[in-house]
Amino acid sequence: LYAAKAAGRGRCELDCAGAEDPDQELARDLASALAFGEVVVHLQPIVELCSGTVVGVEALARWTHSRRGPVPPDVFIGVAERHGLIGALGEQVLLAACTQLAALHRDTGRRLRLGVNVSGLELSDPGYPARMAAVLEETGWPAGEVIVEVTESLLEADSAVAVAALHTLRAQGIRVALDDFGTGYSSFSRLDTLPVDVLKVDSSFIATTTSSVRRAQMLRSIVGLAQALGMDVVAEGVETAEHDELLRGMGCTFGQGWLYGRPMPLAQLAATLATRPLV
């Protein structure tokens, strides 16, 4: 009787916890998905606009929940951050992406730059640069072909540890991209002091550019500014030939978006590469 009561109480507590915090259940499932290797990586092409050549990829995490189906990264990344899982998730994504790109290089001779998203929480862990170095060592993937993508919000938050980590990563040969540029509030003011090599202009920016002359002028200025500061520019969210043409006209160097390819598994990426020119 006591055992039955305890079991009943346990179930009730679980139900109540689930109702109070829907995050909790998803976090438990995500933890088990990570343990079973069910969080996978897709790779989205990044092209050099003048030639159309794929020069790199961005690694994007994908999770298909056994009952709910695909969970958007914007949902499960937040869950991972709130429940202490982001370190494990980031490491799995990095390891998978490096392993896959090393295999692609072995099989086809193509060496693509790898962009990986790094959350502020990961970067605030002082052990991050060493763990990154260990994964590169394990997979044989060169640091010079890795670009960590960080968002402005991370750098706006007064996080000296995170900024120090970026300097350490750079000393290891890894480059830094400022992600979602144009959506934050202090974008311009910190561009001269932050250790940034690449500017990734947010897709919301491109989306409005074709319909607004003023937005197009702003984008042109951002491209010029980045280049004056010695940074590469990647335009995100390139969906149409019109976007592509506009960006090339502005002298923007790189683009990423559905026009060139969705995030996809390695096998599909390899097939896509086989049909594209190699410069």
- Single out the residue of 37, 12, 5, 49 nearest to residue 243, CA to CA: 49
- Per CB under 6 A, the list member of 90, 129, 182, 195 interacting with ligand C2E is 90
Residue 120 touches which of Ca ion, ligand C2E, none (Cβ within 5-8 Å per kind): none
Considering CB under 5 A, how many residues would be counted as binding Ca ion?
A: 5
Token pair for residue 134? 């260990």
Q: Which of residues 226-255 bind Ca ion (CB under 5 A)?
A: 236
Least Å distance, CB 179 to Ca ion, is 4
Q: Please name the residue ranges forming H helices in the chain.
A: 2-20, 22-35, 73-82, 86-108, 120-123, 128-139, 152-156, 160-171, 203-209, 213-228, 241-249, 266-274
Supply the minimum distance, in Å, between the C-beta of residue 38 and ligand C2E: 14
For position 177 contacting ligand C2E by CB under 6 A, the verdict is no
Q: Which is nearer to ligand C2E, 93 or 223 (CB)?
A: 93
What does residue 55 show for φ and ψ, rounded to 5 degrees? -110, -15
In the shown chain, the binding pattern of residues 22 to 61 toward ligand C2E, with x for contact by CB under 6 A and - for none, equals ----------------------x---------------xx
245: closest CA among 255, 231, 233, 230? 255
Coil, helix or strand at residue 67:
coil
Between 27 and 61, whose beta carbon lies closer to ligand C2E? Answer: 61
The torsion defined by the Cα of 228, 240, 47 and 106, in degrees rounded to 10, comes to 160
Stretch that binds Ca ion, among 98-106, 177-185, 215-223, 269-277 (CB under 5 A): 177-185
Question: How far is residue 74 CA from its own chain's centroid?
Answer: 11
- Which residues sit at the interface with ligand C2E, rule CB under 6 A? 44, 60-61, 72-74, 77, 90, 93, 117-119, 149, 179-180, 203, 237-239, 256-258, 263
